[in-house]
Structure 1
Amino acid sequence: MERPRRPSFSELPLRKGDPPYSAWGLYGADDELGTMNLITPAVTRAAVAEVKLGVTIPLDLPLDAIAKPFIPSRVPYEHKLLARGYANDDEIRINTQSTSQWDSLRHFPYQSGYLYYNGVTNADISGAEANDKNGIQNIARKGVATRGVLVDWCRYAKRKGIEVSPFERREITIAEIEEIAEECGLEFREGDLFILRTGLVEKYRELSHEEKCAVAERTGAEAAYIGVECNEVSARWFWTRSFAAVATDTLSFEAWPRKNSEGWTWLLHEVFLAGWGMPIGELWDLERVAEKCEEVGRWSFLVTSQPLIIEGGVASPPNAMAVL
């Protein structure tokens, strides 16, 4: 099948009447992979060439790493050992978005009309005739093996003397991302997994148990987190670079809570997930891979990820690994 021409950002949406900035129909009306279609065999073969040292680094936090989920309505992790005498079983209970995760394309719709990627509706997902459209099983069955590119904003901020708490709203600008990439000699390629380290996991680990719970119990405007600036500049930049997906170590890829720029009223979550079908990884553990990248002076590597095959799943632990 011949790959479709990737339209320019100014051509979005592709069809009259579709939501703003959406790319519905680019890979067909029934497509459920979105930008993951950009991870072709050629892209994976090129990503394998990134392996120089044979060093493997997991990118998932432990399932119990978050003392209390950042969203109060999410249930905390539970693990139970079932001692049988002759053998052991165990059971776990998790909210799939309470620790390291992939957001699937059925997680967050356009807030006006509540439409998901390629026009899937809430009724399709949770109504009486619900189906598995846009579930995490699509990414899981494809599997992820592509080139990861790490933009270490945390390292950049320390070097620049920028003092900011990741538990406060701070916009990481596209200008900063471009400056970091230029300093590192990092070039982006079609099908890359863009990975942003903000430093949230590093700071979270320094908190006491009581402080971790206090952070999670914040509500409203007080529940603030660092992230990418949420505006058309960001949307245009990410679309133009043809990333297959994005991931970060913070709670939401964009700075939270939202603050709209003039003429911009959408969340990046809406445009990325519902508009382009671009999965978002959140709360990834980027500490060890950032240390290794700094040590070797190279900020790209092979990334593999095998989400759980959950039919109609909204999210999954990524089971992600960097290979340098």
Structure 2
Amino acid sequence: MVGESELPKRPAFSELPLHEGDPPYSSWGLWGDKDELGSINLITSKVTREAIKEAQLGITIPLDLPLDAIAKPLIPSRIAYHHNLIAKGFANDDEIHMNTQSTSQWDSMRHFPYQDGYRYYNGTTMDDIAGSVEKGIKANNRNGIQNIAKKGIATRGVLIDWCSYAKRKGIKFSAFDRYEIPLQDIIDIAKESNIVFRPGDILILRTGLTEQYTKLTYDEKIALTQRGKNSFIGIACGKETAQWFWSQAFAAVATDTLSFEAWPRQNSDSWTWLLHEIFLAGWGMPIGELWDLELLAAKCEEVGRWSFLLTSQPLIIDGGVASPPNAMAIL
């Protein structure tokens, strides 16, 4: 972890990557060659002290969906959650079996690499993560979720409630089809809500996916996994989007959809990267997905304020790819 007095000067987006041969738009080495916290380094003690001031009303709002909220993982290759109660007579135990991507989660830096070369944050390779018998390489825990978990997250969260914005504007969309949320919408919502972003903030984007999902019947939920395609609402990819997110110096981002960016990818002649590649592998910036933002959105609207203290304590899973966020907003 970088000390508060040792924060490096943040380069301009145009200066990325920092070293020749590193992947496009990556910031490898900014926090040190062996760093495993990435943009979480931006959450300094000063940032946390300022964030605590956001807890003005004492209203606590958990942001995790129930572990069994998704009837069947929306990506069919992932196993469904299972809870097993072990009744012993004199006491009880229980076990859970789940894919950490099947409900609310943080993606760690070992989830998604640059697809060209399969390199993860700060040069971590698939051989580092999974090992290689042929090469005689033993797997290690580099870039695992345990790094974030052992630090813990306490910073300012900022809600961008695009779902409510879309309703006001008469925008029709299905969260289960590929729909691109324009970056300009995010900027406009922030302006409407009198939000001024600060380094170390976590931007939370409400798309409306979980709202739409909860209104489906059980059969309709199962049918989503049998479409033969994975398509979801998310923010539009592109250089302008990546540049804007870099300029805001966010510690992380989170959303209620399955992928922060619109899925599947749609490449253009000038842009071929997913935000997953840039955020996770390039900057070491965690992505939260499938968060429960419904009560948070209602309360923010009620009190007329969209920033709050955000705490999160992921599970300490050595080498973990993802974890439930155990996240809470405190207004």
Provide the rounded CA distance (Å) in 2 between the counterparts of 1:155 and 1:322. 19
Provide the rounded CA distance (Å) in 1 between the counterparts of 2:256 and 2:76. 19
- Give TM-score, length-normalised by structure 1: 0.98
Provide the rounded CA distance (Å) in 2 between the counterparts of 1:55 and 1:216. 36
Q: 1:260 deviation in Å? A: 1.8
Does the CA contact (< 8 Å) of 1:231 and 1:260 recur in 2? no
Provide the rounded CA distance (Å) in 2 between the counterparts of 1:169 and 1:105. 25
Does the CA contact (< 8 Å) of 1:101 and 1:281 recur in 2? yes
1:17 aligned partner: 21
Once the two structures are superposed, what CA deviation does each residue of 1:38-73 show, in whole Å capped at 9, x if it has no partner?
A: 000000000000011000000000000000001111
Aligned ranges for residues 42-81 of structure 1 at < 5 Å? 42-81=46-85
Match of 2:285 among 256, 266, 278: 278
Aligned ranges for residues 55-134 of structure 1 at < 5 Å? 55-128=59-132, 129-134=138-143
Aligned ranges for residues 263-302 of structure 1 at < 5 Å? 263-302=270-309
Q: 1:5 deviation in Å? A: 0.3
Match of 1:319 among 293, 305, 326: 326
Aligned ranges for residues 210-221 of structure 1 at < 5 Å? 210-220=219-229
Q: 1:214 deviation in Å? A: 0.9
Match of 2:261 among 254, 278, 287: 254
1:239 aligned partner: 246
Once the two structures are superposed, what CA deviation does each residue of 1:296-315 show, in whole Å capped at 9, x if it has no partner?
A: 00000000000000000000
Does the CA contact (< 8 Å) of 1:96 and 1:317 recur in 2? yes
Provide the rounded CA distance (Å) in 2 between the counterparts of 1:217 and 1:7. 45
Between Structure 1 and Structure 2, how many residues are aligned? 322
1:151 aligned partner: 160
Provide the rounded CA distance (Å) in 2 between the counterparts of 1:176 and 1:219. 30
Once the two structures are superposed, what CA deviation does each residue of 1:151-191 show, in whole Å capped at 9, x if it has no partner?
A: 00000000001111111111111100011111111111000
Q: Which amino acid aligns with 2:217?
A: S
Q: 1:3 deviation in Å? A: 1.1
Q: 1:219 deviation in Å? A: 2.6
Once the two structures are superposed, what CA deviation does each residue of 1:94-130 show, in whole Å capped at 9, x if it has no partner?
A: 1000000000000000001100000000000001411
1:195 aligned partner: 204
Provide the rounded CA distance (Å) in 2 between the counterparts of 1:95 and 1:257. 21
1:303 aligned partner: 310
Provide the rounded CA distance (Å) in 2 between the counterparts of 1:261 and 1:154. 27
Unaligned runs of 5+ in 2: 133-137
Provide the rounded CA distance (Å) in 1 between the counterparts of 2:315 and 2:105. 10
Does the CA contact (< 8 Å) of 1:169 and 1:257 recur in 2? yes
2:135 aligned partner: none
Q: 1:205 deviation in Å? A: 0.1
Provide the rounded CA distance (Å) in 1 between the counterparts of 2:309 and 2:193. 17
Once the two structures are superposed, what CA deviation does each residue of 1:283-323 show, in whole Å capped at 9, x if it has no partner?
A: 00000000000000000000000000000000000000000
**Identical positions, percent:** 69
Q: What secondary structure, in the 3-state scheme, does the structure 2 residue paired with 1:80 have?
A: strand
Q: 1:217 deviation in Å? A: 2.3
Match of 1:167 among 176, 182, 201: 176
Q: 1:218 deviation in Å? A: 2.4
Q: What secondary structure, in the 3-state scheme, does the structure 2 residue paired with 1:281 have?
A: strand
1:138 aligned partner: 147
Provide the rounded CA distance (Å) in 1 between the counterparts of 2:268 and 2:151. 36
Q: Which amino acid aligns with 2:218?
A: H
Q: What secondary structure, in the 3-state scheme, does the structure 2 residue paired with 1:89 have?
A: strand
Provide the rounded CA distance (Å) in 2 between the counterparts of 1:236 and 1:219. 33
Please, what is the CA RMSD of the aligned residues?
A: 0.7
State yes or no: 1:39 paired with 2:43.
yes
